[in-house]
Amino acid sequence: MNQNVNWYLEKKLERVKQSLEKNNYEVFIAEDIENVKEILKNIIEEKSTVSFGGSMTLIDGGIIEYLRKCNITLLDRYKEGLTPDDIAELYRKSFFADYYITSSNAITEEGYLVNLDGNGNRVAAMIYGPKKVIIIAGINKIVRDLNEAYTRVRNYASPINAKRLSRKTPCVEKGICLDCNSPERICNHYVVTYRQNVKGRGIIILVKQELGF
């Protein structure tokens, strides 16, 4: 990476880190996804129960495969052979997990988390339930403010995820959000988290590379 670009990213990440810390989060800055795994190794206790939310950051970054090799009880929603009822039960069990790992659709420079969910299980667990929530976010998830976050989530992340999930929605046809009433709509729960109220519960790993959508 160009040293000037690297300098710019470091300054940006440090500003966001300070904002998040003011909002009661513990924050780490990782050089890359391999560094993220090293951080997770130091955070997650052996034999603990771990769950995770739907996230291309976790899938593409190899985090789920990493977790499968750890000495933990993993509530693995992608395990082969699971029925829809099995998956729904894992969603409920996730609220009692020791650690819940996911990403965020956007993080503002003010230190706010912005997420848009279909079923709501991911944002619900981020808000309440698991003892600790670990959020892994690439540099591409950082935005200036809530207005920019809204635009990113609705007109970038949501259409791409709808396409990924093969949903028959207007955004898949047009490539932008049309605020539809489609039965296959995935953007049903829009949540802004201004602050983590329980100190020590929210852990955020900011990564100096692009991850997920």
Q: What domains can be seen in the chain, in order of their start residue?
A: 3-207 (3.40.50.10420)
Alpha-carbon span 198 to 187, nearest angstrom: 27
Q: Could you report the per-residue pLDDT of 140-172, keeping only the tens digit for each?
A: 999 999 999 999 999 999 999 999 999 999 999
> Is pTM beyond 0.85 here?
yes
Q: Burial level of 100, CB count in 10 A (0-12/13-18/19+)?
A: buried
How far apart, in Å, do the first and last CA atoms of the chain sit? 21
- Token readout for 55 is 């996230």
Q: Could you report the per-residue pLDDT of 9-54, keeping only the tens digit for each?
A: 899 999 999 999 999 999 999 999 999 999 999 999 999 999 999 9
